[in-house]
Structure 1
């Protein structure tokens, strides 16, 4: 589990930098709620974030992004849900193995809460390695969100699991949630396997 700034040098999970993009100055929820009340486009943007002038979230939990679960969605079967809501649940992932049928189409979806502050440019990244060699990297933009009592859910694009004899085996996946400020909200490692059956 993690909640820190990341060092992009020599990091497999560093997010892609967009040339010319500069992150704006950080503002509190209260400042954003009062900002340019007469600007119609800004008003619509603030409404899309659900800003109402308050920073929802329990005072005893300083996290700004609370990732609750990551799920694997495959047509015709129930979702495989990975609990990420507590440090103990994340620790338990070290001993679990998520198996994906080779060649099957699937997609990931994430459920998370935002509290205390606006999160800009939240991304999910993962690097997949087999026998220590990087075989895949995924970067999925989740978007910008304001604090809210109810969790958000985001579905990723459909992917196809690798297939064939060479694709079978165990993979180590390192995952991270990071925002535009390069703040890591959660990082963990898990094990996946490609096999003939699901």
Structure 2
């Protein structure tokens, strides 16, 4: 049912779906201001982790997207969880990785001249890696659960192509620049 993608009232937008919408908006805006998609994407990419980090703090405050149960000393009990178990504060892990560390990496990388597409490639690759890793301690979406092996989540399935695409863009950018 391809129209399912448009029914945001039945589930909301994940990062991956939002990324597709932003890519379309960048392409459309680029046409209006006579800039290429990659010029705009490389410029915007280092700023995105600030918004991602703020969103993860919002997830934490709202008590949503919590992690799996844990016995680690920093486990937290979320009132919105279906039980009173201490859980990984996965929103804070994501804030640290997708917000703080991601911003530092992209800001450092983009502070020197790089071939066109390299910054966007690093963005895709890093986000995919960070999200893939945090999914190991995050509670899977209740409507989906684990897709395979009692550990593979939809977030990981959607992040893996981002890792590959990001690495591919970086390789392509540097090879094209070397010619």
Whether these two folds match at TM > 0.5 is: no
* Greater strand fraction, Structure 1 or Structure 2: 1
* Greater helix fraction, Structure 1 or Structure 2: 2
Higher relative contact order (CA 8 A, sep 6+): 1
Q: Provide the TM-score with structure 2 as the length reference.
A: 0.29
